[in-house]
Structure 1
Amino acid sequence: MRFFNTVQKNMSFVDVIASIEYFIRLDPDCRYRLAVGTDSQLKGRITCFATGIYIHREGRGAWGCICKRILNRQYTNLREKITKETSLTYEMVNMLNQELLTSLYDIAVRYENFDCRLEAHIDVGTRGETRKLIKEMVGYFEGMPVDAKIKPEAFVASSYANRYSRDTRVS
């Protein structure tokens, strides 16, 4: 799995974790939102899935990256496509939660104002056909320390990842 953004290319998951930790350590006495979301686009016989990771220091900047997966399969069924997007988001949220738990705990006990909410941004909303899938997709994250967000609050899936899912080239 390789990640990129507009400045950094070919990052490993370890590099992503280090970048998130560095970003937080620059100003640890703040509130953060760490959000993950996936979007996909069908291009001929393939489907491009882009998963975005986005850390936002509330009121003071953000850092993000993308991981693309190109699958040689057409996801034409809406339920199947949204389920795949949600499962990729779930996988990434779980990995981040496991890798960042200790370092975020260490920061939390040292800084009074530090807060970091983990969010899953799901590409479903109350308008259109995806409204029928909200309960099922949000259900993926029940029992996890994660806030599941849907459109219009799910900007990492519906905007950030969407921007990168349109291009099938892996950066």
Structure 2
Amino acid sequence: MKFFNSTQKNMDIETVAKMIRNFIAQNPNQRYRLAVGTDSQVRGNYTCFATGIHIHRIGQGAWCCVAKKVENRRYTNLREKISRETVITYEILSILHDLLFDTLCEFTENYKNFDCKMEAHIDIGTKGETRKLIREMIGYFEGMGVDTKIKPDAFVASSYANRCSKNFKVEHREAV
């Protein structure tokens, strides 16, 4: 997956981790929230998955990026579609955890006010059909020690990634 934002393009996950490290290093004696969320849109025989990564220096700004992946498959089953979004979020969070673990430990040891919570943002809520999936989708993250947010608190999935997933062209899709 290649991530991008308004100023940077074609970032691999290692570059994203480096950008997160740099963002934290600018002011390491603060509290942070690192959130990842995925949303999807079905159009024709294709489904576009957009995954957002958002690092927030609480009360003092944020850095974020997103990646899109178009699959040549029409997801019609809600459980299957939400499960796919959740698995993508899990995979990205797991990779980021591995890439950032040593850095986050170092900041924790060296800065008394440093704190970084990791969050999974899932595009489900207590209203509508997705309410039946809450327990199952949250279960993905329980053993990982990651806080899970659902609507209306899952803004990375339900707002940021949602905006990006709506704008896709089939001819520019990433091969799956």
Query: Which interval holds the TM-score relative to the shorter structure?
Result: over 0.9
Q: Which amino acid aligns with 2:53?
A: I
Distance of 1:91 and 1:42 partners within structure 2: 21
State the secondary structure of the residue aligned to 1:52. Answer: strand
The corresponding residue for 2:136 is 136
Task: Please list every run of 5 or more consecutive structure 2 residues that lacks an aligned counterpart in the other structure.
Answer: none
Partner deviation per Cα, 1:104-152 (whole Å, 9 max, x = no partner): 1001100000000000001110000000000000011111120011111
Distance of 2:12 and 2:140 partners within structure 1: 26
The corresponding residue for 1:71 is 71
The corresponding residue for 1:162 is 162
Q: Does 1:57 align with 2:64?
A: no
The corresponding residue for 2:9 is 9
Q: Which amino acid aligns with 2:90?
A: Y
Q: Which amino acid aligns with 2:106?
A: D
State the secondary structure of the residue aligned to 1:167. Answer: coil
State the secondary structure of the residue aligned to 2:59. Answer: coil
Distance of 2:105 and 2:11 partners within structure 1: 25
Distance of 1:45 and 1:105 partners within structure 2: 44
Distance of 1:168 and 1:134 partners within structure 2: 28
Query: 1:165, CA displacement in angstroms?
Result: 0.2
State the secondary structure of the residue aligned to 1:70. Answer: strand
Distance of 1:145 and 1:139 partners within structure 2: 11
Task: Please list every run of 5 or more consecutive structure 1 residues that lacks an aligned counterpart in the other structure.
Answer: none
CA RMSD in angstroms comes to: 1.0
Pairing 1:35-50 to 2, within 5 Å after superposition: 35-50=35-50
State the secondary structure of the residue aligned to 1:54. Answer: strand
Q: Which amino acid aligns with 2:111?
A: Y
Q: Does 1:93 align with 2:85?
A: no
Q: How many percent of aligned residue pairs carry the same amino acid?
A: 60
Q: Which moved more, 1:47-56 or 1:11-20?
A: 11-20
Q: Which amino acid aligns with 1:108?
A: T
Which stretches of structure 1, 4 residues or more, deviate above 6 A after TM superposition?
none
Q: How many residues align?
A: 171
State the secondary structure of the residue aligned to 2:29. Answer: coil
State the secondary structure of the residue aligned to 2:153. Answer: coil
Query: 1:168, CA displacement in angstroms?
Result: 1.3
Q: Which amino acid aligns with 1:4?
A: F
Q: Which moved more, 1:6-15 or 1:51-60?
A: 6-15
